[in-house]
Amino acid sequence: MSLFIYNSLGRAKEKFEPLYPGIVSIYVCGPTVYGHAHLGHAKSYVSFDVVVRWLRHKGYHVKYVQNITDVGHLTDDADEGEDKISKQARLEKTDPMEISQFYTRSFYEDMDQLDVLRANIAPAATAHIPEQIALVERLIKTGNAYVVNGNVYFSVESFPEYGKLSGRTDQDALQSGIRVEMRSEKRHPSDFALWKKAEEGHLMKWNSPWSVGYPGWHLECSAMSMKYLGETIDIHGGGMENKFPHHDCEIAQSEAATGKPYVRFWMHNNMVTVNGIKMGKSLKNSVNLKDLFKECDPQVIRFFVLQSHYRSQLDFSVSAIKASTTGLEKLRETWRRLRDQKIGSAEFALEPFLQRFTDAMDDDFNTPVAIAVLFDLSKAINAALDRSEGMSEKSRQETHDFLQAAGSDILGILNHHEESSGRDNQLMSKRLDGVIEILLGLRAEARNNKDFPLSDKIRDRLLAAGIEIKDTKEGVSWSVKSRA
């Protein structure tokens, strides 16, 4: 079966074929680095991480670009207001460069926790000012942009398809009666800034043919996408709230400049809500990832995100996270059990699960269904292992490999954090093994003597220390409990 992707541009699922066979170019709008990442970032970047992982799994060579916005994103999209980075610098009494560096590092720390793989290229807007200026020059030349008082604006009337992504195509109708339009130097109220002249005291500014100033927010994505991926790319991803105006502006300025389609597949992920209300900075209900990670395992957050579809809203609550924690632990248990199990004789029919998993992922990255398949598989594996015939070595290996591929490599929800590598860790874990063996030996003695209060005490205290003991038919097993 082939991969189908929901294309926001046609509002339908379309069969995906890359422009150049075997190679996929994908650009995802990155964060504006003026604050710590929140759960919304987690949903977005985990979702696209899985998109990239699945494409790679299918054998494509994926070139993944995700920008860092460190200039030009104003606190108001009507081309007024303050630069977000500058504002934060003012609030923190430091300079913009330190702000963007600090929060970029913070962003990657959190993404690493979530096992979000780094993009191949992570270009910063401030490092691509010449490219952005060149694009503006090109747009002036094609007659799509004009200069007023050192500012450069894109003329939406010069690009009749403006608004085709969001469905806002009648600019005059949109403008009439919304707000009292202040006298503006723009030719049309919907025109957007490509280059802004820096005001007195503005720190982030560069020389340009028009003024000492800075680029408009929408410009960076077009310039960097074209630079690293070409004038037409396969996939452009981002949050739904950026459809308009951000992505419509990108389309306008890119296609006006090149005369070619800018993006073949637009993918938009939905929002995170808290108690049914959108999470937003202004609402002061955003869930900071660093705070969240203190309370729960980042991998649970990843699992929680993937349990809903990327185009659905995801409602955050403590009880939902708790349910995910327990659910994920179930999969981990099977995963561990499969690894430690003694070899039996029965064959296991893996194929149907593999097929269902593939179908789910090929159907617009339906991770909730893919995860449901893993739960069904988990149940089947446990049932098989409970039987006296057990599972043959070949079957055990096959199922193990599949869980490794599906759960670990693709979804990234069954990882190997428990068996952290590194010499020190290995040494420590060897010592831990030894210590626990001693305790288990003492407990076994107690149980032989029917001294159950003592054996239960050992078990309870180990559990309190994060080590869980289970008495199985195969003997006593133990595992390191993840954080709740």
Partner RNA sequence: GGCGAAGUGGCCGAGUGGUUAGGCAGAGGUCUGCAAAACCUUCUACAGCGGUUCGAGUCCGCUCUUCGCCUCCA
Subset of 421-460 contacting RNA (CB under 7 A): 447, 452, 455-456, 459
The answer to whether residues 217 and 233 touch, using CB atoms and an 8 Å cutoff, is no
**Which residue in the set 206, 244, 293, 402 belongs to the binding site for RNA (CB under 7 A)?**
244
- List the interface residues with RNA, window 62-81 (CB under 7 A): 73-78, 81
Nearest residue to 334 (alpha-carbon basis) of 272, 377, 363: 377
Number of residues that bind RNA (CB under 7 A): 86
* 217 near RNA (CB under 7 A): yes
Compute the distance between CA of residue 104 and CA of residue 238 in angstroms, rounded to an integer: 18
Which of 261, 327, 429, 439 is in the footprint of RNA by CB under 7 A?
327
- Residue 276 contacts RNA per CB under 7 A: yes
Angle formed by the axes of helices 96-113 and 84-91, to 10°? 100
Does the footprint of RNA cover residue 99 (CB under 7 A)?
no
- CA distances (Å), origin 113, targets 70, 72, 213, 373, 413: 23, 29, 37, 25, 12
Nearer to RNA, 21 or 182 (CB): 182
Which of 324, 358, 395, 399 contacts RNA by CB under 7 A?
A: 324
Phi, psi of 98 (to 5 degrees): -65, -40
Q: What residues contact residue 442 under an 8 Å CB cut-off, 6+ apart?
A: 458
Does 188 sit near RNA (CB under 7 A)? no
Phi/psi at 126 (5° precision): -70, -20
Query: Is residue 181 part of the contact set for RNA (CB under 7 A)?
Result: no
Residues 111-140 touching RNA, rule: CB under 7 A, are none
Rounded to a whole number of angstroms, the minimum distance from the CB of residue 339 to RNA is 14
* Nearest CB to RNA, comparing residues 138 and 243: 243
Subset of 21-50 contacting RNA (CB under 7 A): 29, 31-32, 38, 40-41, 43-44
The DSSP result for 182-243, as a single string, is PP-SSSSTT-EEEEEEPPTT--S-B--SS-SEEE-HHHHHHHHHHHHH-SSEEEEEEEGGGI
Strand 272-274 versus strand 314-316 pairing type: parallel
281 binds RNA, rule: CB under 7 A: yes
Site for RNA, residues 134 to 173, rule: CB under 7 A: 166-168, 173
Q: Which token pair is 1?
A: 């079966």
450-453-457 Cα angle (round to 5): 125
317 binds RNA (CB under 7 A): yes
Q: What is the CA radius of gyration of the chain?
A: 27
Query: What mask, x for binding RNA by CB under 7 A, covers residues 381 to 420?
Result: -xx--x----------------------------------
Q: How far apart are CB 343 and RNA at their closest, in Å?
A: 18
Q: Which helix (H) or strand (E) holds 299?
A: helix 298-306
- Residue 57 CA to residue 435 CA, distance in Å, equals 41
Least distance to RNA, CB of residue 383, Å: 4
Sole binder of RNA in the list 67, 100, 151, 273 (CB under 7 A): 273
Confirm if 125 and 71 have CB atoms less than 8 A apart: yes
Sheet (strand 23-28) strand order: 61-66, 23-28, 233-239, 263-269
Using the contact rule CB under 7 A, the part of the chain among 128-136, 249-257, 415-423, 467-475 near RNA is 467-475
Binding mask 356-385 for RNA (x = CB under 7 A): ----------x-xx-xx--xx-xx--xx--
Residue closer to RNA (CB basis): 173 or 464? 173
Residue 469 interacting with RNA (CB under 7 A): yes
Q: State yes or no: residue 330 binds RNA (CB under 7 A).
A: yes
Q: Which is nearer to RNA, 20 or 460 (CB)?
A: 460
Which amino acid, residue 395?
Answer: S
Give me the least distance between CB of 156 and RNA, in Å please: 13
Report the SS3 class of residue 175.
helix
